[in-house]
Amino acid sequence: MILSLQTNTFGWYGGIPTYNRLICRALNEMKTSAKSRVLIAMDEREKAASQDSLYSNLFIEAFNGDRIQFVKRVLRIAAKRQTDVILASHINYAPLCSLVKFMRPQARVGIVIYGWEVWRSLPLLQKRALRHANFIISISEYTKQRAIEVQGIEGQRVFVLPNALEWKETHPTRIPGNCSFPPGVKLLSVGRLDAAEQQKGFDTVIRALPKIANQVPDIQYIVIGDGTDLERHKQLAKKLGVSERVHFLGFVDDDLLRQAYAACDLFVMPSAQEGFGFVYLEAMQYGKAVVAANSGGAPEVVTDGETGWLVEYGNTEQLSQALIRLCLDSELRAKLGDAGYHRLQKSFTFPKFCQTFSDILKRELSAIEIYKSRRKMIGNTQAV
């Protein structure tokens, strides 16, 4: 049995929930001899239960944020059922996986790593659990290399499994926009505005707007997302005299999000905190040129000069020049956007994700068979 421990999955927006849903889909596609189990700590039970018809090869349980019951359930399953692979979708669950490993020595422990959580020093228990994991799945080569450098893990145990697109692959020219967005040239950013994550680059875009507006008078900036840092961004826009150009929409439903991607002229998120940057894929799905920072995992998604442009993080002058040129050149935007769409179809599809994920797990399941054979040989030798 494969046991997947997840933080939040269904009904949430963001990189980690998206990745968790991809893992659920991939596990469901694998159709192993015993149904895989997915335990989700933060999801509502009703929300998880509503997914049963979509994941017929999985047992899915959610715990409404009750971490104690979540841990108890994990240990109860490990005690009663043969657990072949336990996969933690966040480093916070790594110590719990180590406990399961103690109970089930043959189990293969895997941990998913995303970005900044492993770019810095970890608490001792998490660091030890990461170092002793049988395999690690990283969403980008950048995060893999940073984890090797900072955490001291062995590179041969780390497999890169990039994010993939959840939405149905439909050509962007057949996706309608929505006229309710402000007229003019529209920039779009999507992401959390949390005080703990101030390197997303939203403020850099706002600082660039006065200069952009001098050459692009009808420039508009749409921001989708919410968080504890929203008010700071609003005050910055007001201070710079561009508040009428910046539209904070907060969190939106999937339909409005799709409409925003379809309606925008250009996607911009010059962040220094992206382990991968799933929102870049979303923009590429709609054939939009992307401006990102030459930092983190973004260069693995956005090919500079081909599918978009990369700028130095925090460099307002460089960002404003890039945005001005792209805002004034619709043919260049279309060329970059089309190349991004084709790159998405080639490198970041769900079938590709599923195949790589399946190969990783099959490798670990084979290691269990080797473990069992060795144990059997030792037993036979002792009997003689």
Are 180 and 365 in contact by the 8 Å Cβ rule? The answer is no
Q: What is the C-alpha separation between 191 and 222, in angstroms, rounded?
A: 11
Q: What is the pLDDT of residue 173?
A: 47
Is residue 206 helix, strand or coil?
Answer: helix
What pLDDT does residue 115 have? 92
Q: Does domain 2-164+349-383 have CATH number 3.40.50.2000?
A: yes
Phi, psi torsion values for 273, nearest 5 degrees: -115, 15
Inter-residue contact 213 to 206 (CB < 8 Å): no
H or E, element range at 94: helix 94-103
- Angstrom CA distances, 323 to 65, 170, 212, 232, stand at 42, 27, 7, 23
The residue length of the chain stands at 384
Domains of the chain by residue range: 2-164+349-383, 172-347
* Phi, then psi, of 250 in degrees rounded to 5: 70, -160
pLDDT of residue 174: 42
Question: What b/e readout covers 32-66, taking b as 16+ CB neighbours within 10 angstroms?
Answer: beebbbbbbbbbbeebbeebeeebeebebbbbeee
> For residues 101 and 90, what is the distance between their CA atoms, to the nearest angstrom?
17
Q: What is the pLDDT of residue 122?
A: 95
Query: First vs last Cα of the chain: how many Å apart?
Result: 33
Residue 200 CA neighbour count, 13 Å, CB half? 24
- The 10 Å Cβ neighbour count of residue 342 is 13
pLDDT tens string, the chain, 384 residues long: the values are: 899 999 999 988 788 999 999 999 999 998 766 789 999 999 999 988 899 889 989 999 999 999 999 999 999 999 998 899 999 999 999 999 999 999 999 999 999 999 989 999 999 999 999 999 999 999 999 999 999 999 999 999 999 999 998 655 444 444 555 557 889 999 999 999 999 888 899 999 999 999 999 999 999 999 999 999 999 999 999 999 999 999 999 999 888 999 999 999 999 999 998 899 999 999 999 999 999 999 999 999 999 999 999 999 999 999 999 999 999 999 999 999 999 999 999 999 999 999 999 999 999 988 877 766 666 556 555 555
Q: Do residues 5 and 94 lie in contact, with contact meaning Cβ atoms separated by under 8 Å?
A: no
Rg (CA), the chain: 23
Over residues 257-275, the pLDDT tens digits come to: 999 999 999 999 999 988 9
**What six digits make up the tokens of 73?**
């359930």
- The rounded distance, in Å, linking the Cα atoms of 19 and 203 is 27
Contact 81, 60 (CB under 8 A): no
Helix 316-328 with 330-347: angle, nearest 10 deg? 100
CATH assignment of 172-347, among 3.40.50.2000, 3.30.450.190, 3.40.50.1580, 2.40.30.10? 3.40.50.2000
> What is the pTM assigned to this prediction?
0.89
Rounded to the nearest 5 percent, the helix, strand and coil shares of the chain are 50, 15, 35
pLDDT value of residue 378: 60
